[in-house]
Amino acid sequence: MTIVRVELGERSYPIHIGQGTLTTPRALHTLLQNALSLQKVTIITNDVIAPLYLDACQRSLAADSVNTIIVPDGEANKSLEWFANIQTALLEQHAARDTLIIALGGGVIGDLTGFAAACYQRGVPFVQIPTTLLSQVDSSVGGKTAVNHPLGKNMIGAFYQPQAVVIDTDTLHTLPAREFAAGMAEVIKYGIIYDADFFAWLEQNIDALQSKHTDALVYAIKRCCEIKAEIVANDEREQGQRALLNLGHTFGHAIEAEQGYGEWLHGEAVAAGMVIACQVAEQKAWLSASETRRVSTLLAQFNLPVEGPVDMSSDDYIRHMRHDKKVLRGKIRFILPKSIGQAVVTDDVDDTLLANVLG
């Protein structure tokens, strides 16, 4: 078991990365018992993950009492409606402040569950058990929780840290190829914004990652979690450096909102958004054309889109981006790479340049 720690003082927590945690009897009980009461647990998952891992998770927990809440699969259900449904279910189950809430699933379940846990009785403990690559390397770590609104993605939520994150790499073997590829977009992001050597390692290990070789998966997940843990420890509430983690997201969220949540997977939209960000940086003479090609080539190797939807105009992007959380004093802020391994937050992008890139 590999452990990465998120250092946040009294709210610090471990990220456990390993194999077979969900299928080994009492493994979760052993990992969590020192930090948490396991007398009463509610597991929140979706109707795709439940048949695969819910029973195994319950056995591995060996808790005194386990309730469940099943949410329909899909980004469209990361909504205020399902947030309210979960609150109702917790009340009906007589959940209390000593009830442990477990998010078992991908980013939608993790974000929705975390926000529900943050609000129920003003905060109850929760644990993330992410089952997709995207959630393992990104959304399960760092305490961002939220639901979507038709006018913007993740616009209603809270910063609320989990008690622990438990990553079982075996769950990736049941992950559809498209979902795995979407997760690789976030993996690649870390190399672009923070670690040029990691980006080069990804270029050299495409086959191992595509074949889901355990050592390659564990290293990639561990390195992403290390980078995110360091950034979150320095800037928990995204006042500065943490915004770098949103490379590609300003454009990507616009794609998701315009196309309808779920039509493009989050990682697919982020992939296209990262290439757009590279093109903007290239127009500003911050990034070389060869580096933009390296980014788009690596994304394409994982069957990720490297262009936005053909039916989206620059006006469509800008309309949605004006609702982005990073807008400050009326100006859209962009995360742009200055080289592979380094990125900056800037509002110095004029409309003409943006229109030229977006078409």
Segment 283-319, tens digit of pLDDT: 999 999 999 999 999 999 999 999 999 999 999 999 9
CA neighbor of 298 nearest in space, from 271, 334, 266: 271
**Cα–Cα distance list, 46 to 27, 74, 185, 272, 280 (Å):** 22, 9, 23, 27, 38
- Is 325 considered catalytic here? no
- The count of other CB atoms within 10 Å of the CB of residue 347 is 13
Architecture of domain 177-358: Up-down Bundle (1.20)
- Is 186 considered catalytic here? yes
Within 8 A by CB and 6+ apart from 206, the residues are 298, 301, 302
Q: Where in the chain is the domain with CATH 1.20.1090.10?
A: 177-358
Report d(CA 345, CA 181) in Å as an integer.
26
What percentage of residues in the chain have a pLDDT greater than 70? 100
- Is 320 considered catalytic here? no
Report d(CA 275, CA 248) in Å as an integer.
7
Tens digits of residue pLDDT in 93-138 = 999 999 999 999 999 999 999 999 999 999 999 999 999 999 999 9
- Is 205 considered catalytic here? no
Whether 129 and 103 have beta carbons less than 8 Å apart is answered as yes
Query: Is the pLDDT assigned to residue 192 strictly greater than 80?
Result: yes
Catalytic residue chosen out of the listed positions 59, 78, 154, 186: 186
- Is 323 considered catalytic here? no
According to CATH, the topology of domain 2-174 is Rossmann fold (3.40.50)
Whether 217 and 184 have beta carbons less than 8 Å apart is answered as no
Residues in the chain: 359
Query: Is the pLDDT assigned to residue 89 strictly greater than 90?
Result: yes
Q: Where in the chain is the domain with CATH 3.40.50.1970?
A: 2-174
Report d(CA 13, CA 246) in Å as an integer.
23
Within 8 A by CB and 6+ apart from 88, the residues are none
Find the helix or strand (DSSP H, E) in which 92 lies.
helix 80-92
- Is 266 considered catalytic here? yes
- Is 291 considered catalytic here? no
Query: CA Rg, the chain, in Å?
Result: 20
What percentage of residues in the chain have a pLDDT greater than 90? 87
Query: What's the mean per-residue pLDDT of the chain?
Result: 95
Catalytic residue chosen out of the listed positions 78, 153, 228, 325: 228
Whether 153 and 253 have beta carbons less than 8 Å apart is answered as yes
As a three-state string, the secondary structure of 146-209 is EEEECCEEEEEEEECCCCEEEEEHHHHHHCCHHHHHHHHHHHHHHHHHHCHHHHHHHHHCHHHH
pTM for the structure as a whole: 0.94
Catalytic residue chosen out of the listed positions 144, 189, 223, 325: 144
